[in-house]
Chain A
Amino acid sequence: MTMTMTETEVSKGFIDVRDMGVTFGANDNKVVAVDNVSLNVQPGEFVSLIGPSGCGKSTLLSIVAGFVKPTHGVATLDGKAITKPGSERGVVFQQYSLFPWLSVRKNVEFGLKMAGVDQSKRNTTARALLDLAGLLSFENHYPDQLSGGMKQRIGIVRALATSPQVLLMDEPFGALDTQTRVVMQEILTNIWQQFRISVLFITHDIEESIFLSDRIYVMTARPGRIKAVIQVPLPRPRRAEMTDTPEFMNLVQELKGLIREESLAAMAPEIKDRGLSGFGMKVGPKGVGEIF
């Protein structure tokens, strides 16, 4: 594949987030979304960020993407502070973000066009990437003619077209049905295997994070902090069958325990209000303690 990264480029793409804090609103209705988070993604590493909904994981990704400015702390890419969006950081969104007025191929070409690459070179690159995503025969279709899974595959290769140093993915498979999602994970791990660039992947799906990642950051319920970092020692390239190994199962159990505490903590006020604590839900003291 012409798009494969060369060895020298693999050493680039180091994301470093230091003492990050994000606060929304002011005075009385101040909400601390992210509190004192530090994390990093090594060059060529696939890192997942997992946590209960509302824990600020998407906010963190928005900062690294350059959409949101942190209240305090810094995010850097290869030592340079991130202040605004840029094509060296490809982003894949949860919502379908293809331009509906452009054909599939023109969508993939978009970033190259913005960079001033000439038409024939854009065309070749886009077709190679579409081939990689298994969608070359749809190059002249419009996005609205495609299924959700196809759109998201195009979203991924579109983000890769400008040869970014890192790929930021914000629950990219969140809107897909379970069967499609599993297939998409395999496709993504295959594509990543060819590019080997740094990935920061946001998800709330435990199996997904294990299957894809080298390392997983677990976040607490709001305000979001890093609760644990878990190494995934599964060999590469990842195969669908690995999800049945005891190694994989153990990791799932470990993560489930961590996440469950946080999910309950996130819901604790509601549970208390409605008097549902008698329904066999154990609200761990530590989880509730996080909130009060």
Chain B
Amino acid sequence: MGNTATAKIVALPMVGKQTDPEPAFVEAKASAAQVSADHAPVAVEMPLPEPEPIPTVSLSKVFVSLWGYVTRERLTAAALACISIGALFLFWYLGTKYKFEFYIRFKNVPTPYEVYQQLTQVGLSNKYLVNIAISVRRILLGFMIATAIGVPLGLAIGKYQRVRDFFMPVVEIMRPIPAIAWVPMSIMLWPNNEASIVFITFIGAFFPILLNTIHGVHSLDGVLVRAARCLGASEIRLFLNVILPGSLPHIFTGLAVGMGVAWVSLIAAEMISGQFGVGYFTWEAYSLVDYPAIVLGMITIGVLGLACSGIIRMVGVLLMPWLAFAPGGRR
């Protein structure tokens, strides 16, 4: 992962340079009264130039602004990331090579090479890929249901006192119950194994999403709601055009946290009650004393989790380009 990041950085410094001066220029000129005159004399000479056709589609602009953040600082960060991951592998390699034994025991731990071999043998096997596919499907289902219920419910609880009074007592009782504790109940509740595992994943993702959404509504500046009402926003418009985008940063925090907890819950559920899935794969390897496969399972879980939260973060950046300029935001 570290390698791809570095490659991007090396390839695109030129594009970054072009977009850089803009925000700095704005700040420097900000307090001047006749800024527009200095800033773009062309625009002022003809009072109302033809409306530009582009402004609605800003995806390409977002990408350009993303490359704009490629800086020396980012290069250093990428280098440090490579070093830290490298150090982890080195520790593992040395520990297994010299059968390190000082309270913790590396005696049975497979070497990185053994795990790599395992990957090349098992990695392309149908069984391994099917396990991954099944885990991903469970995560997606559980997570999407949690989002579909958690975000609207969170918005309603955050906005309306009555809804809050009704739902919050239940939420507060259910919230401390960890998803793993739901396993026996889930098996009783749902007609088949698949549904009960998806349910446990849903439980894991649901509460972080719900609570962060509520928090997002509460942290929305009240003056924005009043401003929208003065501008004639109806209740539905207020929800769609003010409360939802206003709480979006917190919602995405909830999605990222929820995705993490969903993976934790899924793996636990697969280990306890499962058939198939990466968690089941790992536990089965332990039962069969297949040590390299245990580590392969663990690394698979780590990579899948990283990919999922990475996707959420990327979607967040694409949906909320304004955060790049928010005080205390990026940088």
Give the distance to chain B from A15, nearest Cβ to Cβ, in Å: 15
Partner of B36, one of A113, A138, A187: A138
Q: Is A115 interfacial (CB-CB < 8 Å)?
A: yes
Q: How far is the CA of A136 from the CA of B37 in the complex (A)?
A: 10
Beyond A93-B226, A101-B246, A149-B31, whether A144 also contacts B51 by CB under 8 A is no
Q: How far is the CA of A158 from the CA of B27 in the complex (A)?
A: 22
- Evaluate contact between B230 and A131: CB separation under 8 angstroms: no
Q: Is A85 interfacial (CB-CB < 8 Å)?
A: yes
- Evaluate contact between B327 and A144: CB separation under 8 angstroms: yes
Interface centre among A95, A127, A145, A158 (most CB of B within 10 A): A145
Partner of A127, one of B30, B48, B242: B48
Beyond A127-B48, A162-B232, whether A134 also contacts B34 by CB under 8 A is yes
Give the distance to chain B from A24, nearest Cβ to Cβ, in Å: 17
Output the nearest chain A residue to B321 by Cβ-Cβ distance. Answer: A142
Give the distance to chain B from A102, nearest Cβ to Cβ, in Å: 8
Choose the segment among B39-47, B161-169, B204-212 that binds chain A (4+ C-beta atoms closer than 8 Å). Answer: B39-47
Q: How far is the CA of A93 from the CA of B241 in the complex (A)?
A: 19
Q: How big is the B interface, by class?
A: 35 or more
Residues of B within 8 A of A233 (CB): none
Q: How far is the CA of A141 from the CA of B61 in the complex (A)?
A: 12
Output the nearest chain B residue to A153 by Cβ-Cβ distance. Answer: B33
Output the nearest chain A residue to B47 by Cβ-Cβ distance. Answer: A131
Q: How big is the A interface, by class?
A: 35 or more
- Evaluate contact between B227 and A142: CB separation under 8 angstroms: no
- Evaluate contact between A110 and B228: CB separation under 8 angstroms: yes
Beyond A138-B36, A149-B31, whether A95 also contacts B221 by CB under 8 A is yes
- Evaluate contact between A147 and B31: CB separation under 8 angstroms: yes
Q: How far is the CA of A131 from the CA of B43 in the complex (A)?
A: 10
Partner of A136, one of B30, B43, B226, B321: B43
Beyond A99-B242, A100-B322, A144-B327, whether A123 also contacts B51 by CB under 8 A is yes
- Evaluate contact between A140 and B223: CB separation under 8 angstroms: no
Beyond A99-B242, A114-B237, A137-B43, whether A162 also contacts B231 by CB under 8 A is yes
Give the distance to chain A from B297, nearest Cβ to Cβ, in Å: 41
Question: Could you mark each residue 101-117 of chain A with 1 if its beta carbon is under 8 Å from any beta carbon of chain B, else 0?
Answer: 11101000011011100
Which secondary structure dominates where chain B touches chain A?
Answer: helix
- Evaluate contact between B326 and A100: CB separation under 8 angstroms: yes
Residues of A within 8 A of B27 (CB): 145
Q: Is B325 interfacial (CB-CB < 8 Å)?
A: yes
- Evaluate contact between B229 and A85: CB separation under 8 angstroms: yes
Residues of B within 8 A of A66 (CB): 229-230
Give the distance to chain A from B287, nearest Cβ to Cβ, in Å: 51
- Evaluate contact between A159 and B55: CB separation under 8 angstroms: no
> A-contacting residues of B (Cβ < 8 Å)?
23, 26-27, 30-31, 33-37, 39-40, 43-44, 47-48, 51, 55, 221, 223-224, 226-234, 237, 241-242, 245-246, 248, 320-322, 325-327, 329
| Known pairs A65-B226, A90-B230, A135-B36 / 5 extra A-B pairs, C-beta < 8 Å | A85-B230, A93-B227, A135-B35, A142-B325, A180-B33
**Which 10 residue pairs across A and B have the least CB separation, nearest first?**
A147-B30, A87-B232, A111-B231, A144-B325, A85-B229, A137-B40, A97-B227, A114-B232, A91-B230, A101-B245
